[in-house]
Structure 1
Amino acid sequence: MNTQTHTREGGCTCGHVRYQVVSEPMIVHGCHCRGCQKNSGSAFAVNALFEADRVTVVSGTVEEIAVPTPSGTGQDITRCTKCKVAVWSNYNMGGLRKHIRFIRVGTLDDPDQFPPDVHIYTSSKQPWVILPSADRRVSEFYEFAETWSPASLERLSKIEATAGIKIS
C-alpha cells in the first residue's frame, strides 16, 4: 500500500459525478465472491476501503441502490444518476455500513496505484483467473488483526468507537 497521503479524484464514465478521497485506503480487496461477479459483470471487483467522511462528492448527483448479498445484510451501491456507473458501495461489515466506503478502484482517475492487498472469497474465484503467487489470498474472509496494517487497524478502531460497534 502506498504510504504517501494526498487527495485523489475519481468519477463515473459520463463525467457527471466527480469525487475526492483524502487519505490512503485502509486496505484494498480483490473480491472474487459471486455477488461481486454479478454486480460488476466481471470476474471480481477491486475495492479500496476508506472512512466515509474522507470521501466527498465534488460534483454531480448520486443515488444509492440497495442490493441483496448472500449474507442477507445487503449492500448499498452508490451510482451516478445519469450513467448509473457504481462509484462505491457500503457493506454491512458488522454494522459499519454508513462508516466505510468501498471505492470501486476502477473509478479513480489513477487506478493503477491500488492493486489488491488481499484477494478474498477465492473459493468462488473464476478458475481462469490466475493470481500472482506472491499475492495474499483467503478462501472466504480474513481475520482483521492478521491482514490489516497496524495503522489501518487503528483507523478501524476509531470507526468502531464512533459507531459503538466492535468488529475487529
Structure 2
Amino acid sequence: MNDPKYFAKGRCTCGEIHYTVNCKPMFVHCCHCSWCQRETGSAFALNALIESERLGITKGVVEKVQTPSNSGVGQVIVRCPECQVALWSHYGAAKEKVAFVRVGTLDNPNVCPPDIHIYTSSKQSWVELSDIAAKAEDFYRRSELWPEECVRRYKSAIEA
C-alpha cells in the first residue's frame, strides 16, 4: 500500500469496485458458524468491523442485496454488481452504521488477522486454532474483549 492516508485498500475480483478503509478495524471476527460456512462456501468468514463512514468507494457503484441471516433479522450484503463478490455486510444492532468488511477483499488481508474466533462449537474439525486469538464457542460480550477505545467507537457509530 503506497498511500499512507489509508489503513487499507480493497476491491472485488473483477476490479469494477475499489474501496478504501481509513482506520484500523474495531475488531476482527473469524466466524465458524454453519450459516457463514454455507453463505461463503468456506470453513469460516473473516470480517473486520469498521464504521461505515470510514469506508470509501473509489471506483464503481456497489449493489446492496438483502439476505436472510441466522438471527432472523436479515442482513444487507454489499456486492460488486458485475462479479457478485461480497465486499462487506451490515447486520445486527448497528445495521448500516457498521460494516463487516470481508478481509479477503483487501489488497493486503494480512493487516487484519482475527482478534477472536467465534462459534467455534460448529467449526470444521480439521480447522486448528492457535492460541494467538481469543475463542468463543458461540458469541461473546464486547465489553469483555474489545479495547475500550473500540467500544467507544462502536457506540458512537450506532448512536450517530
Separation (CA, whole Å) in 1 of partners of 2:7 and 2:114: 20
- Do the aligned partners of 1:11 and 1:19 also contact (CA within 8 Å) in 2? yes
The aligned length equals 157
What is aligned with 2:23?
23
Aligned partner letter, 2:12: C
Aligned partner letter, 2:159: A
Separation (CA, whole Å) in 1 of partners of 2:132 and 2:21: 28
| CA displacement, residues 85-136 of structure 1 (integer Å, 9 cap, x when unaligned) | 1111111x22x11100000000000001111000111111111111013421
Percent of residue pairs bearing the same amino acid type: 45
Change in Cα spacing, 1:5 to 1:125, as seen in structure 2 (3 Å) is: farther
- SS at structure 2 position matched to 1:97: helix
- Do the aligned partners of 1:5 and 1:23 also contact (CA within 8 Å) in 2? no
5+ residue gaps, structure 1: 163-168
TM-score, normalization by structure 1: 0.89
When structure 1 is superposed on structure 2, of 49-58 and 5-14 the one drifting more is 5-14
Shift of 1:61: 1.9
What is aligned with 2:112?
114
TM-score, normalization by structure 2: 0.93
When structure 1 is superposed on structure 2, of 47-56 and 128-137 the one drifting more is 128-137
| CA displacement, residues 43-74 of structure 1 (integer Å, 9 cap, x when unaligned) | 00100000000011111121111111121011
- SS at structure 2 position matched to 1:19: strand
Shift of 1:154: 1.1
Matches within 5 A, 1:136-147: 136-147=134-145
Change in Cα spacing, 1:5 to 1:114, as seen in structure 2 (3 Å) is: farther
What is aligned with 2:65?
65
Shift of 1:38: 1.1
Shift of 1:37: 0.6
Aligned partner letter, 2:39: N
Change in Cα spacing, 1:124 to 1:5, as seen in structure 2 (3 Å) is: farther
Shift of 1:39: 1.3
- Do the aligned partners of 1:18 and 1:60 also contact (CA within 8 Å) in 2? yes
What is aligned with 1:165?
none
Q: Does 1:130 align with 2:125?
A: no
- Do the aligned partners of 2:6 and 2:20 also contact (CA within 8 Å) in 1? no
- SS at structure 1 position matched to 2:28: strand
RMSD: 1.4
| CA displacement, residues 123-157 of structure 1 (integer Å, 9 cap, x when unaligned) | 11111111013421001111011011111011012
- Do the aligned partners of 1:5 and 1:24 also contact (CA within 8 Å) in 2? no
Shift of 1:5: 7.6
Separation (CA, whole Å) in 2 of partners of 1:147 and 1:132: 17
Shift of 1:6: 3.5
